[in-house]
A and B are shown apart, each in its own frame.
Chain A
Amino acid sequence: MLLALDTSADITVALVSADGTAALAARRVPEQRRHAELLSPLVAEVLRDAGTDRRAVTAVVVGTGPAPFTGLRAGLVTARTLAFALGVPVHGVCSLAALAAQAFGDRAAEPGDDVVVLTDARRREVYHARYAARTEAPGALALRHGPGVARPADLVASGALAHAVVVGPGAVLHADDVAGLPGGPDRGPQHVDPVVLARLALARAELGVGQPVEPLYLRRPDVMPAGGRRRATG
């Protein structure tokens, strides 16, 4: 049984069957700011809902973003600490990969397509990454480009979205920029599904791919360098 969580946008938690096929219990709260407050209570709730002991968890899977800083960190420190305390491994999966896998799963994209996932990076920018389905390893994805952070218009101009199905909440938010590109009016999946996150982690473990639990901040910290000796008078 895997515990999967993502805090790259809203807060989502699920207990997932060991084969990655089904959610035993799940919660999603459309809350963009209170990740550190609500995440652990949600974990406690899914454990209670599933009627399972927390010691039955065999691995923790966490979305590593990209995302604004504070909420992402709450998810990662929670996942790392839970895994350490439960004595189980923790796997990091790029949150954009989950949305891409969901697009293939929902048939928003077909097996031969490339998918570009766009999510809201605020400051009028989007996080982006481009994937193809990996036919030789069902459930796994091939990363073609990214993840990165950019203005939507610059992405279009760079050709990064060419010949791809463009999905995700960033594509809805910046509909004008991506108008005319494939992806349908709904722009595919809008929320990370923690079951898919867990499934990707299992598929990648099968392939022997490392799954570091490192945050994808993609932006440097804002700093206010202080001056040297300054006059306080006149």
Chain B
Amino acid sequence: MTSASYAVPMRDSALVLGIETSCDETGVALVRATADASELLVDAVASSVDEHARFGGIIPEIASRAHLESFVPTLQRALAEADVTLADVDAIAVTAGPGLVGPLTVGAAAAKALAVALDKPLYGVNHVIGHAVVDELVHGLFPDRCLALVVSGGHTSLLLVEDAVTGVTELGHTLDDAAGEAFDKVGRLLGLPYPGGPHIDRLAREGDPTAIRFPRGLTAAKDQAKHADDFSFSGLKTAVARWVEAKQDAGEEIPLADVAASFAASVADVLTAKTIAACRRHGVDTLVVGGGFSANSQLRDLLAERCAHAGIELRIPPIRYCTDNGAMIAALGAAVVRRGLPASPLDLAVDSSMPLTQVLVGSPAA
């Protein structure tokens, strides 16, 4: 039971519909792919984030129910805003993983229904790679070689990208918490509302990032040998907890802004230093940064400063491209179509822990 394994004829251009439902955002976007560019026509998103806030985390069943209700209306909105009809669509790309199984399943089922109803090829693609490739919509197609840092609530990965679809190698990843996850946990520790990331970012701007010297994970010489391109944030989180609790036990007031700024400084320092070192080690002069956590202002500032100093071209798309959305999936779908790769089978299964070696379902994992 496979769909026709044919490539989309590129002719002058191909219109790719992207569908993203791996977490709590229902995203539908349209990207026009030509031989040398990917152009975003529309990026429609519906979010159930407010329904999860009172639980202090994403509830998969609530997100899944919201995806079912939001999908067709979001698709309708995208088509109307782009002033195109479904008959104009040449290919459908959908997040196949990684992510939450229930939410992923809704998007995959919808994408398959479209593939059958339109008789167009379906591409199941990797969400994390999408966070990097979305930058092709902003800064043009990737150069022959670049490094990509994907940082979000669920992922912290360093990728060597020699081709956006067929040449992605994972150099390293977090050994415990993702960067965004560490922010949410420290946010909870400081009594901030969920999700903690934006609140800490705001607080940190009023604090002194040098007030407290928190540890830098996996930067010691012994760790550099074994985990040069890996990250770890759980030790930092524990260090913040100990520091805060020591103050509490002593009956002292907690300088929340200084704690937030010093914690954020540690995260930004480690991410930036290790990433730039990896660029040097791999002889790469372009760095692409994506994922929801790349909205973090300390990280953006430090990356800009250090990349300029190291002579590395830094590509970070505007914040609206960094969160989960259909544009990242349409962008990756466009990259797949541009390479003329065969469609994914229509009976594809979503994979909550889809490996980064697999960019496209149906393609052999590297």
Which A residues are within 8 Å of any B CB, using their own CB?
Answer: 34-41, 43-45, 47, 54, 69-70, 73-74, 76-82, 84-86, 215, 217, 221-234
Contact = CB atoms under 8 A, between A and B. Distances in A.
B188 A229 contact: yes
A221 B109 contact: no
A73 B57 CA distance: 22
Closest 6 CB pairs of A and B: A226-B56, A85-B117, A221-B61, A232-B241, A40-B112, A81-B113
B312 interface: no
Contact of A41 (B1, B57, B59, B101): B1
Contacts of A221: 59, 61-62, 65
Contacts of B65: 69, 73, 215, 217, 221
Given A85-B117, A223-B55, A36 B350 contact: yes
Main secondary structure of the interface of B (DSSP, over half): helix
Contact of A36 (B57, B109, B115, B119): B109
B301 to A, nearest CB: 28
A158 B108 CA distance: 42
Interface in B171-192: 188-191
A226 B55 contact: yes
Contact of A76 (B56, B68, B108): B68
Main secondary structure of the interface of A (DSSP, over half): helix
B61 A222 contact: yes
B346 interface: yes
A74 B245 contact: no
Interface string B89-119: 0000000000001100110111011111111
Interface in B41-86: 54-57, 59, 61-62, 64-65, 67-68, 71-72, 75-76, 86
B105 A54 contact: no
A202 B251 CA distance: 72
B280 interface: no
B242 interface: yes
B62 A223 contact: yes
A41 B111 CA distance: 12
B189 A232 contact: yes
B194 interface: yes
B191 A77 contact: no
